[in-house]
A and B are shown apart, each in its own frame.
Chain A
Amino acid sequence: MADPKRLLIVDDNEDILSTFYEFFNSLGYEVKTANDGFAALKVLREKPGFFDCLITDLVMPNISGVGLIAIVKKEYPNLKIIAMTGYGDQPGALASEAEADMVLFKPIDLFKIEEKVSALLGQK
């Protein structure tokens, strides 16, 4: 890829974070990670406009994924957002309400997510 797309991946599970990191990295994406909503918000505010897509878990300490999506949609309306949840319908519904571009339910096939990311970012 001449111009690698930049992803920020947020999850409080370190195993998931590293798996996602390896996977997207190997496909040529430029990947950064954060382990909760607050850390993610700080990264985003440090580099406004840097990222193309945010992939975030929903149930996390301090700033939840839903909170992060609500803040980010207001501050960076162009950033594409994919929400992932393993906690049933409630957080997913709130993420849609907060205008996540897509809500996926765990467990999620990594190749499926990549397809969605690619589609959201208008590649291929």
Chain B
Amino acid sequence: MSTPLIGVSKSMLKIKELINHVANTCLNVLITGETGVGKEVVAQNLFAESSRSHKNFVTINCAALPETLLESELYGYEKGAFTGAHKKRYGKFLTADKGVLFLDEIGDMPLALQSKMLHVLQSGEFSPLGSDQEFKTDAWIIAATNQNLEKSIQNKTFREDLFYRLNIIKIEIPPLRERPEDIPALIEYYFRLYRSEYPNSQGSKPDAETIKRLCAYSWPGNVRELQNCMKKQMVLDSWEKIFEELPAERNSAPPAPLQVDPPGDTPALFSSDHNPERLSIISEFVDLSTSSEKLFEDISLKKIKKLASDKVEKEVITFVLDKVGWNRSKAAKILKVSYKTLLYKMSEFGVHPPVK
């Protein structure tokens, strides 16, 4: 049974509507979003709403397997195709025929396999390793990644032609911190789910104040992190303990703009430097808590320049967009960049309109 897509935010409602409109087209889908936002859940919902729901939903994680293994998992092999191939094995493409093949972490697929994948997507045909027979496949391809594939294309780690072939329909799932209104619904859902899974648990439901705190937290691990907290609560039954265990600097509601490491945590290298303002500026771009050796490796003026200008650019872009009611054409004119540049920068910096 697939997990329902939980959420009441505008962005989640739009994703649900989009799924509803495209599930029966079986066009290639690319799902993007940070780790833990629920990319597989969206894929399962597409599958569940499609006419293929009575067939197989086959998942393969392109980052988890070494190249050769990934290839044989995808395409299968004939007996004797390589040392250790004692018997014939069907690949995921065949298992997913008439169903869905979910390619998770597609951004991590090695280039050689990307070109093979492209060929299969173009022709609908493939041959298992060690076989000269061509098989037809009618698998609906849904791919997912937490990477910015446009960037990977620039870095030559992802094929542009494969990107466009996968990106026929794109579903972008925003991180949980951008849609805090979904948090109460998620809490409610997972509380009930884990209650039924652990019927003897004493874990109490969060009260209004706790829910408020949970909504204010930034959830860097997204829904998966929230799930883990709910599971922990079933065992610990103490929201206080759970809050204590959340990464401290993100726990307090408004993050301090400049963070100064307490003197005790500052490495010896910097303990003699008593200029807190300087340290706080540097600490925004360099991790000062590492050893001095590692630190010197990390400090590069070029890198810091990029980080610093990115940070300022992001703020300026958000500021201007906000002023013009998120009209991107107007903002581009004000910022004196092309519309395309603005869109690129917005996606690079993860600038999204506020969810109402």
B329 and A15 contact, CB distance less than 8 A: yes
Closest Cβ neighbor of B17 among chain A residues: A38
Across the interface, name the chain B residue whose C-beta is closest to A67: B168
Sampled A-B contacts (24; CB under 8 Å): A13-B329, A14-B327, A14-B328, A38-B18, A42-B21, A61-B170, A61-B172, A62-B18, A63-B21, A63-B22, A63-B168, A63-B169, A64-B169, A64-B170, A66-B164, A67-B22, A67-B27, A70-B27, A71-B22, A71-B25, A71-B27, A74-B25, A90-B164, A91-B164
Q: Using Cβ atoms and an 8 Å threshold, which residues of chain A touch B25?
A: 67, 70-71, 74
Q: How far is the CB of B226 from chain A (nearest CB, A)?
A: 26
Is B315 part of the contact surface with A, judged by Cβ < 8 Å? no
Chain B hits for A67, CB < 8 A: 22, 25, 27, 168-169
Interchain CA distance A61-B150 in the complex, whole Å: 13
Which A-B residue pairs are the 6 nearest by beta carbons? A67-B168, A90-B164, A14-B329, A67-B169, A67-B27, A71-B25
Q: A63 — nearest CB in chain B belongs to which residue? A: B169
Known A13-B329, A13-B339, A62-B171; judge A90-B160 contact (CB<8 A): yes
**How far apart are the CA atoms of A5 and B34 in the complex, in Å?**
45
User: Given the complex of chains A and B, what is the CA–CA distance between A124 and B145 in angstroms?
Assistant: 50
- Determine the distance from Cα of A38 to Cα of B161 in the docked complex, in whole angstroms: 23
Query: Which one of B160, B167, B328, B339 contacts A64 once the chains associate, using CB atoms below 8 Å?
Result: B167
Number of A-B contacts (CB under 8 A): 49
Query: Do A62 and B164 touch (CB < 8 A)?
Result: no
Chain A contact residues: over half helix, strand or loop, or mixed?
A: helix
Q: What residues of B have a CB within 8 angstroms of the CB of A41 in the complex?
A: 21
Number of B interface residues, CB 8 Å? 19
Chain B residues with Cβ below 8 Å from A38 are 18, 21
B165 in the interface, Cβ–Cβ < 8 Å? yes
A-chain residues with CB within 8 Å of residue B165 when the two chains form the complex: 94
Taking the nearest CB of chain B, how far is it from the CB of A73, in angstroms? Answer: 11
For the complex, what is the distance from the CA of A74 to the CA of B328, rounded to whole Å?
33
Residues in B with CB closer than 8 Å to A74 are 25
Q: Which of A39-98 touch B at CB < 8 Å?
A: 41-42, 45, 61-64, 66-67, 70-71, 74, 90-91, 94
A80 to B167 alpha-carbon distance, docked (Å): 23
Q: Would A70 and B168 count as touching, CB distance under 8 A?
A: yes
Residue of B164, B165, B172, B339 ringed by the most chain A CB atoms within 10 A: B164
A62 adjacent to B339 (CB under 8 Å) = no
Most-contacted residue by chain B among A41, A64, A91 (CB, 10 A): A64
How far is it, in angstroms, between the C-alpha of A102 and the C-alpha of B77 when the chains are bound? 42
Contacts of B167 in A (CB 8 A): 64
Within the complex, the shortest CB–CB distance from A64 to chain B, in Å, comes to 6
| Closest beta carbon of chain A to B153's beta carbon, Å | 10
Contacts of A14 on B, CB cut-off 8 Å? Answer: 327-329
Closest chain A CB from B199 CB (angstroms): 41
Of all chain B residues, the one with the shortest Cβ separation from A66 is B168
Give chain A residues whose Cβ lies under 8 Å from the Cβ of B21: 38, 41-42, 45, 63
